[in-house]
Amino acid sequence: MVPSRRLYELLLLMTALGLGVAVVGSYITPSSWLGLAIELTLAGDLLVLLLTLIDGRRGWKQRATVQRLPLERLSIGRDNPVRLIVQTGERPAQLLLRDAYPAAFTATPETLQITLPAQQSQEFTYTVFPAQRGEYTWKSIQVRQLGCWGLAWQDWQVPQAQTVEVYPDLIGLRALSVRLTLQAAGNLKRVNRIGLGTEFAELREYNLGDDPRLIDWKATARRSRPLLRVLEPEQEQTLIILLDSGRLMTGQVQGLTRFDWGLNAALALALAGLKRGDRVGLGVFDRQLHTWMPPERGQQQLAKLLDRVTPLQPVLLEPDYLGAVTAVTRQQSRRALIVLMTDVIDTTASAELLAAMTRLTPRYLPFCVTLRDPQVDRQAEAPSEEIASAYTRAVALDLLAQRQVALERLRQKGVLILDAAAHQITEPLVDRYLQLKARNQL
């Protein structure tokens, strides 16, 4: 039982009344009135405390029931909903709920304040934000219910222990899956697909504005009306993703490591490839290619990738780009789109990356994805009114200039480049892949 604010207010009121009696009585007969004031104050306080005990005892029979719905796999870097079911008894209930979520998480709100009518059941939701992958344990739910007279809170715990795993961005993958399904079904702008690709999809009637070069004249002659050939990107190609887990990927960007942002983007790209009918493989490397999943097609491949890469963490080791690329080319002899996700600093530090990506041309289509730190961009753009900030801006501008030189050298060698902020890399990467497929560049 926990005293409420109303209890303290009543005790202060009784004390104030006692002091008032003492002050008034001091002008008449000081000795007798002072004793009476003390007795009245003590009697009032005892009465309030007795009522508080009664209120607390009555609360035990009128407690609400609280239950947490079973938790599913959580997504890193996302606000994941946690749902609680509250059922009241014969009287209305005013509750404070605080779930014992893992200390590594951030919850919004931390405490739920609830008021429910009698005999009502309602679902309440709060969100948790995990910044690291792994396995975590929820414990009990702390519940406080205000008594009928508002004098005391009944305080108890509801045992709800559960172990939950934090995965890469599953919420983002589900949203991307819906988007790709809609595109494949033609619910988005199908006109963007006309003439892009090499595989025949269907015939449809010619509309004003269509490319006349795509008219199928034989079908037009048979049907006596102009018909257009709709072409789709070629299916069953090979996409290989190489994800750096070395030193540069341990840096924090917007609360997550670069590796986590890269892992989310890699899985989104794998999902897009599988949805487009490609064979998708994935490798993770630092000083060696320690994780390798050969290219396969089908949606079951995504589940395999998730289970395999979820436990991985970045390490403070320099990546061996040449070793990783060499290991992959030994496994994959056919032409493939090889996407390497890492970061660059300058031409000197990225010399091995340049050599590794150059080795892939012209047999493969190399694609280098670099995860930029937006903080460097902000420092380079910030106005410098003091000497210290001017030096900081100069360093940031120099880093960006050297980065651009390194990326330009990769472009000159025929390497495709995508350079974007680490926390915003997923969407442009998937869009770029879809463009490559539509233009049949692979």
Q: Which CATH number is 65-167's, of 3.40.190.10, 2.60.40.10, 2.30.110.10, 3.40.630.10?
A: 2.60.40.10
Residue 73's CB is within 10 A of a number of other CB atoms, namely: 13
CA 241 to chain centre: 21
Fold of 238-438: Rossmann fold (3.40.50)
pTM for this predicted structure: 0.78
Q: Is 236 exposed, middle or buried (0-12, 13-18, 19+ CB in 10 A)?
A: exposed
Which residue intervals of 276-372 are DSSP H helices?
300-309, 321-331, 351-360
What is the bridge-based pairing of β-strands 199-205 and 74-75? unpaired
Burial 170-191 (b: 16+ CB within 10 A, else e): bbbbeebbeebeebeeeeeeee
From first to last of its 442 residues, the chain has per-residue pLDDT tens of 666 666 666 667 767 766 666 666 656 655 556 666 666 667 766 776 666 666 666 656 678 899 999 998 999 999 999 999 999 888 888 899 999 999 999 999 999 999 999 889 999 999 999 999 999 999 999 998 887 666 777 888 999 999 999 999 999 999 999 888 887 766 444 444 444 455 556 777 878 777 787 788 888 888 888 887 776 655 578 999 999 999 999 999 998 999 999 999 999 999 999 998 899 999 999 999 999 999 999 889 999 999 999 999 999 999 999 999 999 999 888 899 999 999 988 778 788 998 999 889 888 999 999 999 998 888 888 887 788 888 888 888 888 898 899 899 999 989 999 999 999 999 999 999 999 988 777 7
- 277: its two tokens: 């009918």
CB 203, CB 230: distance < 8 Å:
yes
